[in-house]
Structure 1
Amino acid sequence: MSSTAAPYPATPRTTPTRARERAHYDHATVHAILDSDYICHLGFVSADGGPIVLPTTYARVGSRLYLHGSTGSRPLRGAAEGLRVCVTVTRTDGLVLARSGMHHSLNYRSVVAHGTAHRVTDPDEHRTALDAIIDRIVPGRAADCRPATAKELAQTAVIRLDLREVSAKVRTGGVNDEPEDRDLPTWAGVIPVSRTLGTPVPDPAMSAETPLPDYLRRLLAEQGLRRGQE
């Protein structure tokens, strides 16, 4: 999907009631947030009418989300006929410490998507979705793994959610204290929050001569990290 595509339309469910200036509907912002994390939270209403929220891995392919699950799970069974869901992804970028308790906050990026999810039944799309989920964790990993067997594929379900009713919300910047509080003798400011990858820990059962894959080297290089050994 081109970054110049029309923004996702604002709807009553995707329009914030507070801090509307933080809402974003452009594809570039929404997709960048979705592509920055590994776990989403899938919300739906169960058969008994109770709300359920489940964490799961996911991947974005164009304007579509694929979510991983077990064939025996409730949302995956319900998605066979279409399941109304809400999917969220959130990244924390900073702790905002104000002079007053009321104005403490977080710098964050989040996406909320609403819609009807459907279970993926086409075999080719199923494999493509699972490969995309693996590559969301580490790009290039899917091609370096043993392909799933027919039995494994039968045990693994994927649901698809088309991104149509979706928005991002972003908070950046510093402290928003009341003017009369700015002279208080209390430390105030922002503590940045970041996530980095550590040095790979080899599986003890693996041969010591097994080299680190090039795609993993590239990923670590992008993080500015060095491996402990060549």
Structure 2
Amino acid sequence: MNALPVPRFFRGELRRNEPMARHSSWRVGGTADCWAQPVDIDDLAALLQQIPVNEPITWIGLGSNLLIRDGGIRGTVICTARLNRIENLGDQLWLIEAGAPCARVARLTARGAARGAEFFCGIPGTMGGALVMNAGAHGGETWPLVEHYETIDHQGQITRLPVTSMHWGYRHAELPVGQGFTRCWLRLEAGDAVQAEARIRELLEHRNRTQPTGMASCGSVFRNPPGDFAGRLIES
């Protein structure tokens, strides 16, 4: 496969033959042909416009819940970590970019006296990953909070869509092939900052008691079957 030429007008970071073990919470995996980290959404669009049409693209955020083979990843890996803007637009409508860590979303929305996003505090990935898999915990899920979302295709074309256009379910969302999420707009409920932050502390204490948070891991990767829990089935 032809290597991606140095993109014109690209302001981010680009590396060849990048060891992906550096970018996975499991700390394993071979090299990517090319690894790129744009500085913002405009930079991402500029990068995509210069990647050959037949070049495979793999999207990553924080690299959690991600097992990379020893053979590595062909094509270009795009890391969204710097697309991390979080902004309260008023009336508890929050703009969240795809690279924003879910834990930071929980903290900032709680400080903004919003209610409904506290469950994100224990999810180790980014908002982009949360949208892809409809991440959830403790009775909360991502897509019920979404009002609009934005995608970008291989040609760098950006499209904003209402939540009614997305088909989603338990740990699943039907993102069209060849597209990635850039950002979303969450509609939260007005709440109390003290109560929201107390709820986050409660959830994190539970997580620390029940999960090996200080060890290299990929988090919770198994879907619960209807009426049961994956953890119980594995341990039995």
- The verdict on a shared fold, with TM-score over 0.5 as the criterion, is no
Report the TM-score when normalising by structure 1: 0.22
> Relative CO higher for 1 or 2, CA cutoff 8 Å, sep ≥ 6?
1
Larger radius of gyration: 1
Report the TM-score when normalising by structure 2: 0.22
